[in-house]
Structure 1
Amino acid sequence: MEIAVVGNSEFILGFRLAGIQKTYAADSEDSLVAQVTKAMDDRDVGIIVLKGEDMQKLPFRLRTTLSESVKPTVIAIGGETGGLSMRERIKRSVGVDLWK
C-alpha cells in the first residue's frame, strides 16, 4: 500500500521531498475533484492525504464518500476537518490501534 498526496504544488512538494512518489497536483477546484477521484481509483493507494481546506472545497457527496472510506483511508491535515481523528482512521484502516 502506498500513500498518495493531493493538493496544490506547494503542499505536495514537501511530501515529494520526503519520498512520497504518488502526488497529484491540483491547483483549481475542478482539478482537485479529478485528482482525488484518480487517487481513489488507484488500487495501490492505501492512504490519501489532503489539506483540510481542500477537503471542504469538495462536493458534499465526494466529501462524505472520503470521510467514510476505509480503503483508501483519507486524512485531512490542518484546518477544521471534523469527523474521525487520524488515530481512529488508521485504526479503522489497519484493524489495530498502533498507539497501544
Structure 2
Amino acid sequence: MSQEIAVVGSPDFTTGFRLAGVRKCENVPDGQKDEQLDEAVSGVFEDDNVGIVVMHDDDLDHLSRGVRETAETSIEPTLVTLGGGAGAGGLRDQIKRAIGIDLMEEED
C-alpha cells in the first residue's frame, strides 16, 4: 500500500513541504524545468511507495505530453496540483478522480 507523499517542483515550492515533514522531495530548479521535470515526475510515479504526488499547477505546462498524460490520469499515485489554475473546479476534479465519485454532484 502506497503511503508516502512526494513533492516535485522548484526548491522554493518544496521547502515548505520539507519543513512539514515530507521526506520525498524532488527539486527542479526553475531554469532547468524543461530538461529535468519529466525525469523527476516519471521517477516519483514509478516509485511503489508513493501514493500522492504534489506539484505546482504551472509546472504541468513544462511536462512532455506523455508524462503529463500519465500524471493526470494516474489513480495511484494520485496527482494533486496547487496554485495557478487549480481552483475549486480543479480540486473537485482531483477528488472525483481519486475516489471515483463526485461528492458535490448538483441536484436537478
TM-score range (shorter-chain normalised) is 0.7 to 0.9
What SS does the corresponding residue of 1:85 show, helix, strand or coil?
Answer: helix
Please point out which of 31, 34, 41 is paired with 1:36.
41
**Structure 2 residues not aligned, in runs of 5+:** none
Please give the root-mean-square deviation of Cα atoms over the aligned residues, in Å. Answer: 2.3
Change (3 A) 1:42 1:18: same
Deviates more, 1:16-25 or 1:59-68: 59-68
Aligned-partner Cα distance in 1 for 2:66–2:41: 13
Give the TM-score normalised by the residue count of structure 2: 0.77
What SS does the corresponding residue of 1:14 show, helix, strand or coil?
Answer: helix
- Aligned residue type for 1:33: D
Q: Deviations over 1:25-74 (max 9, x none)?
A: 11112111111011011101001001111111111221111111100100
Q: CA deviation at 1:9?
A: 0.8
Q: CA deviation at 1:87?
A: 4.4
Partner of 2:71: 66
Change (3 A) 1:51 1:80: same
The question of 1:50 aligning with 2:55 is answered yes
Count residues with an aligned counterpart: 98
Please point out which of 8, 11, 25 is paired with 1:9.
11
Aligned-partner Cα distance in 2 for 1:76–1:89: 9
Contact 1:73/1:90 (8 A) holds in 2: no
Give the TM-score normalised by the residue count of structure 1: 0.83
- Aligned residue type for 1:7: G
Q: CA deviation at 1:88?
A: 4.2
**Structure 1 residues not aligned, in runs of 5+:** none
- Seq. identity, %: 39
Larger radius of gyration: 2
Q: CA deviation at 1:91?
A: 4.9
Q: CA deviation at 1:86?
A: 2.9
